[in-house]
A and B are shown apart, each in its own frame.
Chain A
């Protein structure tokens, strides 16, 4: 009786510090996964929002540039959002890398022959697509947000004196190399999202006999919508349907 009693007491005292308890849970594999899922869902939300905003390309130069100016007019909100996004991305990547290392360690010696029975291509390449996405996002930020590739073009203004985001985009996607890079980026994003979303729902414990199909289908569906939306913009410009 005694040995176990002593253990329980010790554990209870340690557990009574709420912060320690909280971080204790984050450090478990399940706690990390929950945070990865939540941050991932946040990022996916941003991606959807980003795609919807960009669709304003089809409404013409004025609409898009006004939308960009609207965002820039709230520097506090914009920068808060940017910092928050960065933090979420950092958390997402940091915890994922940590788990990936642990997962690698969980099987030090691999199989000589290994066959998957069920795992989708997307699920098998999450680490790869995740890494490629980081590269793509960095490139995207350098290219269109910071405008370091073509600084002169980037700072041009339209007739109303607003920053000409529209012209900038149209200019970019007339370059076949950039079109190729962005299309590849979309493919990677689509692959990553198609597994990630449904996987997050599972990690958050969503499971129901009637709704399981919805949960399983949600990921690929949302991924498809995001990719279709973004690719439509790229191709529309590349084929001259949208022009300056």
Chain B
């Protein structure tokens, strides 16, 4: 039975973190050398944590399944990173960033965590500059900012459209330094497949060497998971093909509570799926909505080409539904509007999955040159992928799963319900509530890794007595056996279906029944269909090759198997949360005009699910108390 103790310090919000840091116990430099820490994942959170812990003197082992830590999916983030620097003197402050994040998350996140995030955001920028991240600059040499994601201040720092890449390369270079110093041992192409818990404390992990197939255990005094999100549960998403839920899901099965799994963000502007074999949705920058107008033909199944459809027969549905915000309505509203209009049969393109994003008005008003300069690279990318010239016919877009706010439950110290297991970055649930603001994910990953975890983990290590755990320990052997058996079971698969086909079926099911809009009947249907699909998977999947070599089919099948299990968790959570908040939209809970209805009286809490062997997961609630801000309703009409 788990207990949720948030460990948020008492007292005024502004000084919580400072006072907490002072009250934390420290590990002496001599002892640090004897302490081993395992960091799983090498994205923004993992790389920054591993390098900082190495610099502090701990013995760090860092793992990633990619061939190099620099390929973690943080690299693909485009937009930017927020920080309350107020360099533009436009009224930004820690308080404002804090409030925007809380409100953007639809009042489903912890005040203290979000405030701390806003506080350390400033240090992140300084640290990244010191590491040589080439942020965009003004002519005078100062850092440039842009406004992002519909906020009223310019607080987003960026490196062209490759901010995630540059921030990751910064963290990766810091990590490289620590590897060179011998403080961090890097284990690339090594996948974590289970968590080792000894006497209730996380003490290690079981990994599979993806090149040799060897299954090994690594033990340490603490384990840090920085393994990202699980958007790939929808099969088609903007995530990298390797992004998976395995590490966090395995940790869940070892006792870490999973929080708010149903909070999954759908990004409105991706290039729509075009054919059955498609395995990826490519994001188009949201900035296109600044000048573009979204529309569909009014007549269902209109097969005319867009140029032939006259103005009165077009439905500019966002402008119609949200006259005040029009095409700039927030991500969740825009995504849902697109889905509704396509569900009504008005969608365009293959399978009716798409709406037009039309820049012809902008071209007519501002001239082709201006539009070209602003969006030229996006038009080029669109043409490369679809083969269509967006200057002549409007682009087609469709929403795509993009980010998961849910994740393993952590307290204020970023520790999960398993002592010694820390979770950072997208893998935890902490700071974004029910919906994440643009340019906040990079901020959170680096805040956790550079500035928060290295403090809080020290307190745990200083106050926890832990004896050595050898690789022959019973619990270690048991964990290894679980992994060995599972790999062997997968390799017995000689059926007639590929793992990809099950992943695709699961994705379609989740998208239809637990995607942008959910309802009770659909979720119940999903909860019946998922176990059946899982059963079929284990009977019918074909996994060829051997376990003792490089075997991508085996890696992938294991990840799909975990998606097939964790999908149920999403549905349980979506089913129980009888309200619409942020990215979670229940058809039953909306205003007559189709706006989400949040229920603060009954659902102002974090739902944390506990694993029960062979049974339904058990719900625990961490009530959310708002001492400093007052929850309000978001209205955009």
Contacts and interface: CB of A to CB of B under 8 A. Distances in A.
Interface of A: 1, 3-4
By size class, the interface of chain B is under 10
B181 interface: yes
Contacts of B181: 1, 3-4
Nearest to B181: A4
B433 interface: no
A4 B55 CA distance: 12
B91 interface: no
Contacts, number: 7
Contacts of B57: 1
Contacts of A3: 181-182
Nearest to B180: A4
A4 B54 CA distance: 13
Interface on chain A toward B: helix, strand, loop, or mixed SS?
helix
B269 to A, nearest CB: 34
Interface of B: 57, 180-182
Contacts of B182: 3-4
Going nearest first, the 7 A-B pairs with the smallest beta carbon separation are A4-B181, A3-B182, A4-B182, A4-B180, A1-B57, A3-B181, A1-B181
Nearest to B182: A3
7 contacts: A1-B57, A1-B181, A3-B181, A3-B182, A4-B180, A4-B181, A4-B182
A3 B182 CA distance: 7
Nearest to B29: A1
Nearest to B178: A4
Contacts of B180: 4
A195 to B, nearest CB: 34
A4 B178 CA distance: 10
A127 B22 CA distance: 68
A36 to B, nearest CB: 31
A3 B57 CA distance: 12
A4 B183 CA distance: 9
Nearest to A5: B181
Contacts of A1: 57, 181
B181 to A, nearest CB: 4
A4 B180 CA distance: 8
Contacts of A4: 180-182
A47 B375 CA distance: 53
A137 to B, nearest CB: 48
A159 B181 CA distance: 79
Nearest to B177: A4
A1 B182 CA distance: 8
B69 to A, nearest CB: 19
B472 to A, nearest CB: 28
A68 to B, nearest CB: 61
A1 B58 CA distance: 11
A232 B189 CA distance: 64
A3 B181 CA distance: 7
Nearest to A4: B181
Residue of B57, B180, B181 with most partner-chain A CB within 10 A: B181
A4 B57 CA distance: 13
A7 to B, nearest CB: 9
A3 B59 CA distance: 13
A154 B182 CA distance: 71
B314 to A, nearest CB: 45
Nearest to B57: A1
A24 B181 CA distance: 23
A3 B180 CA distance: 10
A231 to B, nearest CB: 48
A4 B182 CA distance: 7
Nearest to A3: B182
B174 to A, nearest CB: 15
A77 B180 CA distance: 54
A1 B59 CA distance: 11
B30 to A, nearest CB: 12
A1 B180 CA distance: 11
